[in-house]
Amino acid sequence: MATKANRLRVLALYKELHRLGRDYEPSYDFHGKLRRMFEKNRNLTDAEEIEKAYNLGEYIKKETLALYSLRKYRHLKRMYPPNSTSDP
Amino acid sequence: MRPSAVRLLNILVPVKRAVDYAVKIRVNPQQTGIDLNVKHSMNPFDEIAVEEAVRLRERMKDAVKSIKVVTIGPAKSAETLRTALAMGADGGIHVEIPESAPAPEPLGVAKTLRAIVEREKEKANVDIVILGKQAIDDDMGQTGQMLAGLLNWPQATYASKVVIDEANRVAHVTREIDGGAEEVKCKLPVIITTDLRLNEPRYASLPNIMKAKKKPIEKLSPSDLGVDLTPILETLKVTEPPKRVGGGKVENVDELITKLKEAGIEAVKS
């Protein structure tokens, strides 16, 4: 049963993932895939299935966040290597 | 014997809206600076500073009374303040300058920050100012040190670890230096600048960004603070570094000698 509580948190997850997708590699259609994956599950009624789909969404959110952190950290580490000040 | 009242800590974190780390920097056609029509975001070292302030509060709980963030910049800089508020700061101060104004210099920024610290004294003393060690778009790395000089406060720069002993009003800071690390002990109030390895900044989630919209941002102008941000330095020219010329391979020693002679390198007369 798609309860009101479920609806709210699924929408929140969608908004969060959508915002994350803005910084993703443009050649990978993040927003398109996001929309299709959510629409595919729009008619779910079984509570367990809904929970599974929601957890997959949460997992993708965490993976994307980890990707961004790593990308930024690696970039900065290359720009500012350890034990060398910015002056030559 | 009555215990002395422990004063709660107030932390100030200046942040800068700088060119985003992923942007490929290009020199503008006039060779006076870089192309600024690109994506901007909070200076990564400032993100680390905000994160450290929030973590200090998480560790020390009620000992930290307030975390205020401040930025100097055009209207768009307010976004940077909102991000910092979404990460956990309580309130912001936006020193607004016109869009067309030249970017403030470190000395100007330090003077403005000093004025803000003096201004905050009327409500509550600032105990710790945490700044990024440098901005990634100009790599000046001077503001923290200049501010410490102007305020006559101790400074612990390139911090890779910060521990605050609020009972004794002392900061123990581990600093990254060439060849390793050193630990310094500074009395509060103190200036700390952050190194890359201090912490990993948190992601500002959408719910937190929404909550941040309700947090107060005070708008000020440089004249309100009695500060003149007119640059005293003139940039004569900005150019890209010379393009790397590829090396060439030689077949044998004779060819190597020929090439060296062509380059103007003569054999040493023995």
For helices B143-151 and B106-120, angle between their N-to-C axes, nearest 10 degrees: 50
Is A12 part of the contact surface with chain B (CB cutoff 8 Å)?
yes
Question: Could you identify the residue written with the tokens 């930025």?
Answer: B71
Overall number of domains in chain B: 1
ipTM: 0.79
Chain B contact set for A9 (CB, 8 A): none
Q: Could you report the per-residue pLDDT of B63-118, keeping only the tens digit for each?
A: 999 999 999 999 999 999 999 999 999 999 999 999 989 999 999 999 999 999 99
Residue B2 scores a pLDDT above 60: no
Question: Where in the sequence is the domain holding B94, given as residue range(s)?
Answer: 9-16+43-229
pLDDT at A87 over 70: no
Amino acid at B7: R
Q: Provide the whole-model pTM.
A: 0.85
Task: Please report the pLDDT score of residue B263 as a whole number.
Answer: 82
Cβ pair B206:A65 closer than 8 A: no
Q: Which residues are B194's β-sheet partners? A: B132, B159
Check if A85 contacts B (Cβ < 8 Å).
yes
Give the C-alpha separation, B185 to B163, whole Å.
10
The reply to whether residue A79 touches residue B180, judged by beta carbons under 8 angstroms, is no
Q: Per the CB < 8 Å rule, is A75 touching B21?
A: yes
Cβ–Cβ < 8 Å for B133, B194: yes
Closest by Cα among B51, B24, B49, B22 to B35: B24
Contacts of B269 (CB under 8 A, 6+ apart): none
pLDDT, tens digit (0-9, with 9 covering 90-100), for B224-242:
999 999 999 998 999 988 8
Confidence at residue B137, expressed as pLDDT on a 0 to 100 scale: 87
Q: Is B202 on the interface with A (CB under 8 A)?
A: no
* B161 part of a folded domain: yes
Amino acid at B257: I
Asked if A79 is an interface residue toward chain B (Cβ–Cβ < 8 A), one would say yes
The Cα–Cα gap between A75 and A20 comes to 19
Residues in A closer than 8 angstroms to B177, CB to CB, are: 83
> Any CB–CB contact under 8 A between A16 and chain B?
yes
With H, G, I as helix, E, B as strand and everything else as coil, classify residue A81: coil
Per-residue three-class SS string for A48-75: HHHHHHHHHHHHHHHHHHHHHHHHHHHH
- Top pLDDT among B113 and B261 is at B113
Nearest to B9 by CA among B86, B50, B84, B68: B68
pLDDT grade, residue B159 (50/70/90)? very high
Cβ-proximal residues to B167 (8 Å cutoff; 6+ apart), any chain: B6
Query: A72 contacts in B (CB within 8 Å)?
Result: 21-22, 44
- Alpha-carbon distance B71 to B82, whole Å? 11
CA distance B211 to B235: 41
CATH of the domain at B137: 3.40.50.620
- A50: CB partners within 8 A, 6+ apart: A2, A6, A10, A41, A44
| Chain A nearest C-alpha distance from B206 (Å) | 6
> CA nearest B181 in A: which residue?
A83
Residue B32 within any structural domain of the chain: no
Distance from CA of A16 to the nearest CA of B (A): 6
Confidence category of residue A86, pLDDT binned at 50, 70, 90: very low
B119-141: burial string, b at 16+ Cβ within 10 Å, e else: bbeeeeebbbbbbbbbbbbbeeb
- Decide if B179 touches A, using CB distance below 8 A: yes
Chain B residue with CA closest to A23: the answer is B22
CB contact under 8 A, A12 and B207: yes
Q: Where are the alpha helices (DSSP H) in B171-251?
A: 206-212
Whether B234 is covered by a domain: the verdict is no
